Amino acid sequence: MIRLVVATRNKKKLSEIKDILKGINIKLLSLDSFTDAPRVREDGKTFRENAVKKAMKLARFTGEICLGEDSGLCVDALDGAPGIYSARFSGRDKSDLKNNIKLLKLLKDTPFKKRKAYYVCAVALADKRGVLGVVEGKCSGLIAFEPKGSAGFGYDPLFYIPKYKKTFAQLGEKVKHKMSHRYHALKKARRVIEKCVVKSPVN
């Protein structure tokens, strides 16, 4: 069975990726399987740059095919922030809760109709020879006035989907995993995996 290393130690993110990619005959591993893996500094100017950097560096280190992913939230009223800084939006002692609190404070005087936002996910696949493919996915919504729901992670309790009148955290994995930014990106990546990974594995 072909092994695919996902460049993350985020268990919730890995679980989501596994769920979306199920059905492909591959074994997904996280960086937890490589305790001495180098830390990749996410200093790219775009989600794509960060995803490629993760995939390439870890593919060279592990000798395996790697999936690098970078994602975040872009809010129109904040000129696209937090963007690539989504995970560390609240600073050095970052956490999902602190990130959400900071976002709400910045938008406290912003009316609902002007709280438009979208999630972005970039996925890069690479082996030790180079990049196999890079894709992106997006999902649009609004930022709620308060957190609601307990599913998901990151900004999910604030990311409101008008169609369902619920946040991602309220919708839960079953619905979210069929419409999220990560779903759209991995749906495209799936084709790359099936073509470049399953049919032409690295020896």
Task: Count CB atoms within 10 A of the CB of residue 176.
Answer: 24
Torsion sign across C-alpha atoms 182, 5, 70, 106:
positive
C-alpha distances in Å from residue 185, one per residue of 46, 83, 88, 119, 191: 15, 17, 22, 11, 10
Among candidate residues 32, 36, 43, 70, the one labeled active-site is 70
Contact assessment for residue 201 and residue 133, using Cβ atoms and an 8 Å cutoff? no
Backbone angles phi, psi at 117, to 5 degrees: -155, 165
**70 has catalytic annotation:** yes
Kindly list the catalytic residues: 70
